[in-house]
Amino acid sequence: MTRAPLTAATARAVIVDVCQLAANKPVTSVIICDPRAAAQHSLSQMLRPLHSLIRIACVPDGFALVDTYSAQAADIVLIGIERSIDTGPEAVALQSAMHPQSVIITVGAATDADLLVAVTIAGAQGLLVWDHNQLPTGGDPQPGGPLAW
């Protein structure tokens, strides 16, 4: 199987499709949980083409995620996972315990098997393989990245 280079339009289409499939309905609200502002911004930009989307909230950690979700539930919760920041598994566990009905998709590299097992056990329903570091300032992904499905 040959993969074509991933363009900004293709990347946006993938993330939009993943969110709609996970929610099984049009997505009107998303909460992005990641302590990295650049990752929050990149994911927010990827979601913009979602015509039904009314609200995107960005939070830095699991506690802010639970507070934000408690105030106004979202259709999808995207949680950044990366071993070096170590907030992803904690956020997944906290969100899953406090709001078990929430749809949680983790976002990050698929290179750490222990991390993937930990977030799945904690309650994540899916993984969007994505590397926000591959997005240049212009917003177009580098060929071959940052999304896979």
**What structural domains does the chain harbor?**
8-111+127-148 (3.40.50.2300)
Quote the CA–CA distance of 32 and 88 in Å, as a whole number.
11
- The rounded distance, in Å, linking the Cα atoms of 108 and 148 is 10
Question: pLDDT tens-digit profile of 98-112?
Answer: 999 999 999 887 778
pLDDT at residue 52 in the model:
85
Residue indicated by tokens 């060929």: 143
User: For the chain, which residues score pLDDT lower than 70?
Assistant: 1-20, 22-23, 131-149
What pLDDT, on a 0 to 100 scale, did the predictor assign at position 86? Answer: 73
Two tokens, residue 131: 């590397």
